[in-house]
Amino acid sequence: MPRQPEHPDLDDVRLDRLFFALGDRARLRILSVLCDRAEHSREEFDVAVGPSTLSHHMKILREAGLTRHRYEGTHCRISLRTDTLARFPAALNGALEALAAEQYDEA
Amino acid sequence: MPRQPEHPDLDDVRLDRLFFALGDRARLRILSVLCDRAEHSREEFDVAVGPSTLSHHMKILREAGLTRHRYEGTHCRISLRTDTLARFPAALNGALEALAAEQYDEA
DNA sequence: CCCAACGTACATCGAATATCGAATATCGTC
DNA sequence: GACGATATTCGATATTCGATGTACGTTGGG
């Protein structure tokens, strides 16, 4: 775990990259857990993939600017980036609202 | 031009597929033109790709359930699918609103 | 009927993705 | 400092995607 997880600057967050990050079932599943705006650890995203694949999806979400990764010892806490939500309020709040409405935690 | 352009049934429209369709600059560009809820022909989407590539993107948008293709002679008129917008109002209206706000017609 | 125009389907190519397993780096503890 | 736990990275592979060119089917006009 690099001590600096490379969160992109808010100015570098692009709409197409955000949507791309949303365009995958596993990542939507992860986001449906993050919808409550709280911090979560990896065990709570019960996606049926291996640890390295989960890291891959986490990286895409983080590099898109959607999530923030905070390290507590060896554990990682993930949450939504509120600044990005504020930067693209319509798109992202709408997406999260749709996720909650669709019960994406079981599809 | 198959006389039946294969629009997916509304029940088959999935959120991840919709977001995937939104996760590309060329397709966002197309959608930014369609934002006005009117019908448009292919010439109006000034994306810098060849005809076959444009067809490819159109197919992805259509198969995601975002657009409707109506044929008038040899010409094709494309518009947003209002039923899909109504099915995922938060996600899609939010996305279109963000597109309009971001002036995506020049990025 | 023949022909041009238009949009698409198909095959292709290079690049990017998703997935896994193994190896590596970091942290906390002993 | 060594060890175990955790997360990431790396290597490899199969799949998918974006882009192009060519060929095909439809439409409309001579």
Out of B14, B22, B93, the one facing A19 most closely (by C-beta) is B22
pLDDT, mean of residues A62-87: 95
What's this model's pTM, rounded to 2 decimal places? 0.92
Q: Is residue A74 a part of any domain in this protein?
A: yes
Question: What is the model's pLDDT at position B107?
Answer: 47
Contacts of A16 in chain B (CB under 8 A): 22-25, 28
Q: Is residue A107 a part of any domain in this protein?
A: no
Summarize pLDDT for A1-54 with one digit per residue, the tens: 555 678 999 999 999 999 999 999 999 999 999 999 999 999 999 899 999 999
Q: Which nucleotide is nearest to A73 (CA to C1')?
A: C27
Q: Is residue A66 a part of any domain in this protein?
A: yes
Q: Is residue B4 a part of any domain in this protein?
A: no
Count of the separate structural domains present in chain B: 1
Chain A window 31-60: residues with CB closer than 7 Å to nucleic chain C are: 48-53, 56-57, 60
Question: What is the model's pLDDT at position A104?
Answer: 72
Range of the domain at B40: 11-102
Closest CA to A23 of B15, B56, B80: B15
Residue A68 phi/psi, 5-degree rounding, is -115, 135
User: Can you give the C-alpha Rg of chain B in angstroms?
Assistant: 13
Spacing of A87 CA from D26 C1' in Å: 47
CATH of the domain at A87: 1.10.10.10
Q: Is residue B20 a part of any domain in this protein?
A: yes
Q: Is residue A93 a part of any domain in this protein?
A: yes
Q: Is residue B107 a part of any domain in this protein?
A: no
Q: Is residue B1 a part of any domain in this protein?
A: no
Summarize pLDDT for B48-74 with one digit per residue, the tens: 999 999 999 999 999 999 999 999 888
- What are B78's two structure tokens? 């494309």
Spacing of B7 CA from C15 C1' in Å: 29
Q: How far is B64 from chain A, CA to nearest CA, in Å?
A: 11
pLDDT, mean of residues A72-81: 92
